[in-house]
Amino acid sequence: MRGISPGMALILLLLVAFIVAALAAPWIAPFDPLRQSLLMRLRPPGTTVAAGMYLLGTDDLGRDLLSRVLHGARASIAVAALSVSISLAFGTLLGLLAGWFRGWVAVAIMRSVDTMLSIPAILLAVLTVAVLGPSFLNLILVLGLTRWPRYTRVAYAQTLQVATLPYIRAAEMAGAGSARILWRHILPNIAGPLMVVATSEFGLMILFEAGLSFLGLGIQPPYPSWGSIMSVGRQYVERAWWLTVFPGACLFVLVLCVNLFGDWLRDRVDPRSQGR
């Protein structure tokens, strides 16, 4: 890897740390994130009890905030990662098809893209969650299936460009099938820009889940996500600042890192800015 600046190294390190923390949450969390203690509600960071120390304080049901933030990382990152994967896969496939076959296929696909994009994502999500109910799986499906048009647009435009390249034409002449060309030659060429979209979507999805939590439709209690911890905590902004500040800081840093990573990635894959 040529030229990773110290700043970028720090960002990558943080990203890895987040992922490790999320994966290892059950082993590194000091308490059971669901275990309540009504007599220990809203205790400030550093409160010590027989069982140990509430390093980040407790929430409104007397649960250890640190353990909840760690487990919340799992939920928030999982929702974002899975929904981004679904929409990335689905959106890319449609974009490839539209860009390759053009004609009525492109018209049909790109008009559905317009249709989907013209319904505000948050309304569509709220509507669908109202029908399906807000389970973890449904949340991922809803986010995955409302965000794909963004990828389709990029994949379509890129495929149109790449398809005119001489070696693609050559492969076509040589009798390679469409599927093979798309998979072997076009997809690798357009993967860069798609990854850039995916990184910025990743941050957005974490925030989106938080927003749905605020509307009561996110990850469901008692299980924590950063969004749900914060939407509960905002009632206590002044009385128990730690409830929003710690998950908020995690969310902020993660989204920021992912986005900066995305920008960095963009500069690497974008041939135009690479040339300079």
Partner 1 sequence: MIRLLAGRLLQAAVASFGVLTIVFFVMRLSGDPTLLLVPEGASAEQVAQLRAALGFDRPLVVQYAAYLGDLLRLDLGESLVQRAPVAGIVGERIPYTLALAGGALLVALGIGIPAGILMAVHRGGVLERALAALVLAGQSLPTFWSGILLILFFGVYLGWLPTSGADSLASLIMPAIALGALTMSTFARMARISVLDELSRDYVTAARARGLSVWAAVSRHVLRNAAIPVVTIAALEIGNLLAGAVIVETVFAWPGIGQLAIQSIQARDFLVVQTVVLFVSSVYIAMNLLADLAYAAIDPRIRGRS
Partner 2 sequence: MLRSWTIGLLTACALAGPALAQATKDTLIVDLPGDVATMDPHVQWDTESYSVYRNIFDNLVTRDTSGKIVPQVATAWRYTDPTTIVFDLRTDITFSDGSKLTPADVVFSIKRITNPAFRSPQLSQFDQIIAADVTGPAQVTLRTKSPYPVLLAQLVKLSIVPQAVVEKLGDQAFNQQVLGSGPYVLKSWQRGVASTLEANPGYWRGAAPFKTVTFRAVPDIATRIADVRTGRADITRGLSPDDTASLKNERNLQVLSVATERVSHLFLNPAIGPTRDKRVRQAIAHAIDRDAIIAALMLGFPKRADVMLTEAAFGWVGDVPFWPYDPARAKALVKEAGAEGAEIPFLTSPAYDRRVNEAVQQMLGEVGLKVSFVMVDQPTFLRRRQGTPEEALNMAQGRWSCACQDADGVIFPLFRTGSQWAKFSNAEFDTAVDAARVTLDEKERLTHYRRAFTILRDEVAAVPLFQDAAIYLARRELKWTPTPNEAFFVFDMKWVP
For binding to partner 1 (CB under 8 A), which residues are involved?
7, 107, 111-112, 114-115, 117-123, 126-128, 130-131, 203-204, 207, 210-211, 214-215, 227, 230-231, 234, 237-238, 244, 248, 251-252, 255-256, 259-260, 263, 266, 270, 272-273, 275-276
Q: Does 41 help bind partner 2 (rule: CB under 8 A)?
A: yes
Beta strands in 161-206 (DSSP E): none
Residue among 23 and 119 whose Cβ is closer to partner 1: 119
Rounded to a whole number of angstroms, the minimum distance from the CB of residue 59 to partner 1 is 15
Binding mask 177-216 for partner 2 (x = CB under 8 A): --------------------------------------xx
Contact between residue 30 and residue 67 where contact means Cβ atoms under 8 Å apart? yes
Binding-site partner at residue 227 among partner 2, partner 1, none, CB < 5 to 8 Å by type: partner 1
CB of 102 to partner 2, least distance (A): 42
Structure-block tokens of residue 125 = 């999500």
Q: Among residues 7, 123, 234, 270, which is the contact residue for partner 2, using CB under 8 A?
A: 234
How many angstroms separate the first and last alpha carbons of the chain? Answer: 18
The partner in contact with residue 157, picked from partner 1, partner 2, none with C-beta cut-offs of 5 to 8 angstroms by kind, is none
Handedness of CA 64, 208, 156, 109 (dihedral sign): positive
- Unique residue bearing structure tokens 């740390």: 17
Does residue number 44 form part of the binding site for partner 2 (CB under 8 A)?
Answer: no
Q: Which does 121 bind (CB under 5 to 8 A by kind): partner 1, partner 2, none?
A: partner 1
Burial bucket for residue 68 (CB in 10 Å: 0-12, 13-18, 19+): buried
Instruction: Check if the beta carbon of residue 146 is closer than 8 Å to that of residue 124.
Output: yes
Degrees, nearest 5: CA angle 39-41-44: 125
Q: What are phi and psi of 128, to 5 degrees?
A: -70, -40
